[in-house]
A and B are shown apart, each in its own frame.
Chain A
C-alpha cells in the first residue's frame, strides 16, 4: 500500500457534522482473475478499514470482493472536541497502514 490520502477539515465548531474523505491506492486484486498462463491470481484486497477519534471507534468497514481499485471511503461524523482522527487500512497480507489527522474544535 502506498501513502493514504485523507481529507479532514483542520478546524470545526463543537458538535458540527463534518465530512471525511479517504482514498487508498490499492490494486484490490479480486482473486477471480487468471494470469497469462491460466494460473489463478491470489486475492489481495484491503479487507478492513476503520476510523478512530481519540481512541473511540467512529466507524469501521469489512471489505469483501467487488470493491473497486483505489477504494474511496467517505463518511460524516460529529466532532465533540479537539482530537486526533486515526485511520487504519488492513491488507489481506497483514500489512497495516495508518495515518492520523488533528481536528481543532473551537
Chain B
C-alpha cells in the first residue's frame, strides 16, 4: 500500500525512534483457511481510481488476522444464525427458505451481481428485496427490516456462497439512469461538514481520519462484522453511519437514494473479490 507506507515512513522519521510494530511491512495477502483472495485489482479505464483496494488492506494486522480464519471470524456466529433461519418454517404457507431453495450453495454467484435490474418488478433489486419478496409472496411471512439482525444474518449466509468471486454489477441498460443518480449522490457535498463520499474515499484513502485509516469505501466485504458494534452491518447501515459522521441527515435504508448509491459504489469495485462476511473496525 504505497500511500499507506509513505504515511508510516513519515511517522517514524518524525518520532525518530520508530516502533517495531510500525516498521513491519504491510501484509497484503489474504488467505482464508487456505483459500487465497485477491485484495487489489487494476481499475477499469473509466474508473476515477488507479487501483482498487479492498477495505481489508487498510485495517490493522490484528483485525486482518480475524478474517483469515473462519473460526476466529466473529461473522460466522451470525452465519450460523442465518443457517438456522434458512431452515426455519415461518409464515402462513408453512415454508422455510429451504423448502424451495434446497441447498444454500445454489446462490453461488448471486452476490457479485447485486444490486441488479429485476425485469419482472421493473426496478433495481438488492439482496434484501429478493429475500423479502420470497418471505412475503412465497412464505406468507412478515418482511424483515432492511438493516435488522435476521436480514443481515441471511445476507451474510447467502453472500458467503460467492466468496472469492469478482464483483461484476451491470452498469448498462435499464440501470444506467440509476447509476448516474448514484454517482451524483457520491460526489454531492452534504451535511454540516459539507463533505461528499469522494472527499474521503477517493481523495484521501490511506490517510488518517482521527485514529483510523480511510479506505476506498468498497462494498465487496459486506455484510461486515464491525468490532465497533459487534454485529453484522449492511451496506445501507454503513452509508447511514457515514452520513451521520458528516452531520448530514441520512437517507432511509432501503430507499431509492441508498440503492442508487449502492449500485454506484458496487460498480466502482467491479473486479474486486467478494470477501463477505468480512471483519472491519
Contact = CB atoms under 8 A, between A and B. Distances in A.
B77 A70 contact: yes
Interface stretch (B34-42, B68-76, B212-220): B68-76
Interface string A62-73: 000000111010
Interface in B56-97: 71-72, 74, 76-77, 80-81
A33 interface: no
Given A5-B71, A23-B71, A70 B230 contact: yes
B71 A68 contact: no
Contacts of B80: 3, 5
A72 B72 contact: yes
A27 to B, nearest CB: 9
A43 interface: no
B76 A21 contact: no
B74 A70 contact: yes
Given A23-B77, A70-B77, A7 B71 contact: yes
A72 B77 CA distance: 11
A21 B72 contact: yes
Interface string A58-90: 000000000011101000000000000000000
Contacts of A70: 74, 77, 230
Nearest to A3: B80
Contacts of A25: 77
Contacts of B76: 5
B71 A21 contact: yes
A36 to B, nearest CB: 18
Contacts of B71: 5, 7, 21, 23
Nearest to B77: A25
A14 B76 CA distance: 31
Interface of B: 71-72, 74, 76-77, 80-81, 230
21 contacts: A2-B77, A2-B81, A3-B80, A5-B71, A5-B76, A5-B77, A5-B80, A7-B71, A21-B71, A21-B72, A23-B71, A23-B74, A23-B77, A25-B77, A68-B230, A69-B230, A70-B74, A70-B77, A70-B230, A72-B72, A72-B74
